[in-house]
A = this chain, B = another copy of it.
Amino acid sequence: MSWSSNEIHLANRPTGYPDDDTWSSATVEVPEPGEGELVVKVDYISLDPAMRGWLNDVRSYIPPVQIGEAMRAICTGSVVASRHPDFAVGDTVAGTFGVVEYALSNGTGVYKIDLGVAGAPTWLGALGMTGMTAYFGLHDVGRIKAGETVLVSAAAGAVGSVVAQLAKAEGCRVIGIAGGPGKVAWLKEIGLDDAIDYKNENVLKRLREVAPKGIDVYFDNVGGDILDAALANLRRGARVVICGAVAGYNDEALPPGPKRYMSLLVFRATMTGFVVFDYEDRYPEAVAAISAMIADGRLVARETTLDGGVQAFPEALLGLYAGVNTGKLVLKV
C-alpha cells in the first residue's frame, strides 16, 4: 500500500513576499516504510517567521529549502506505518515533516508527544521549537534575573508570549510590544506590567515613560525601528537577545541595521544572536519547566489554528507576517 500526499513545494525563490509563483502543489505517493523508517500522517503544521529565511539561497544556520522540494515545516502527526524500533502505529509525534499530508521518515528529529499534557498545537507552540526558543533565549542568552526589567517585541506572538510569561514567572517586570489594541489587551490579561501598541503609539516615547530607568534585557523578534527604540533605552549592562528580525524578512534588499547600535558602548551592553537548535540536548529541561507552568496556570499557551489543509499554507504564511495570529499560528491538515 501507499499514501497519496498533497504537498506544497518550493517552485521559485521569492524576492520580497512569497506569491503564487513561489509555490507549486504536488501529489506524491508515499511508499511503505523500509527497514528503520516510518510513515506519519500530518495533523498540524507550524507557521514560523523563520520560514522566509529558509527560502533564500544563502549561507545561514540551516541549508535553504531546495527548488522542487516540499516546503520545510515542523508538524505534529500520527504514525500510520512503522518499521522503526522506536515508533509504533498510533504514536503521536512531532518532527520536521514539511507542508505535506504524509511523510516518510527515518526517525531523525522525530519525537513522541503526549496529548495528555497538552493538545497538538501546543506541542508546536509553547512546548515546541517556539517555547524552546523563548526558554533558552531568555535564560541562557538573556540571563534574566528576578527584579530586572524585560522588554519583548512581537509579545503577543508565539515566541514573545512565552518569553513574557517566563520572565514574569521569574520575578521580572515585563513590558511587551505588539500591534493593535486586541493584542495589547491580551498581554495585560496574561499579566504583563505594561504593553505598547506600536501601531498606535510612539514606542520610543512610551518606553521612556514605562521604563524610565531603562531595560535590562530586550528580547528582539522584529528588528527595525523597534530595535532602535530599545537600544536607545537600555540600562547599563543590558543584554539584547537577537532572536529574529521579522520586520525585514520579506524586504527585497537587506534592511537597514540598528542605527543606535553605539548604545551598546554607552550602556556597556551586549547584543547576542542564538539559534535554538544548539540547545537540543536540553529541550527536555525546558519542556518539563513549561509543562509544569501550563499545568498550574502560570503560563497560558495560546494558539491560532487555521483550517484548509496544506493548500492553505501560502496564505497562512502571509497571514503570519501580517500578524493575524495571537499566540502560535498553526495550520490544521
Contacts and interface: CB of A to CB of B under 8 A. Distances in A.
Contacts of A271: 261, 264, 270-272
Contacts of A273: 262-270
Interface in A64-95: none
Interface residues of A, number: 32
Contacts of A312: none
A209 to B, nearest CB: 17
A324 interface: no
Given A269-B272, A271-B270, A254 B264 contact: no
A260 interface: yes
Nearest to A59: B266
Contacts of A265: 61, 242-244, 273-275
A108 interface: no
A60 interface: yes
A254 B263 CA distance: 12
Given A270-B270, A270-B271, A242 B264 contact: yes
Given A242-B262, A257-B257, A257-B258, 10 more contacts: A244-B265, A255-B259, A256-B256, A256-B259, A258-B258, A261-B261, A264-B273, A265-B275, A266-B273, A267-B273
A130 B256 CA distance: 31
Nearest to A60: B266
Contacts of A274: 265, 268
Contacts of A275: 265-266, 268
A61 B266 contact: yes
A35 B60 CA distance: 65
Nearest to A263: B273
A294 interface: no
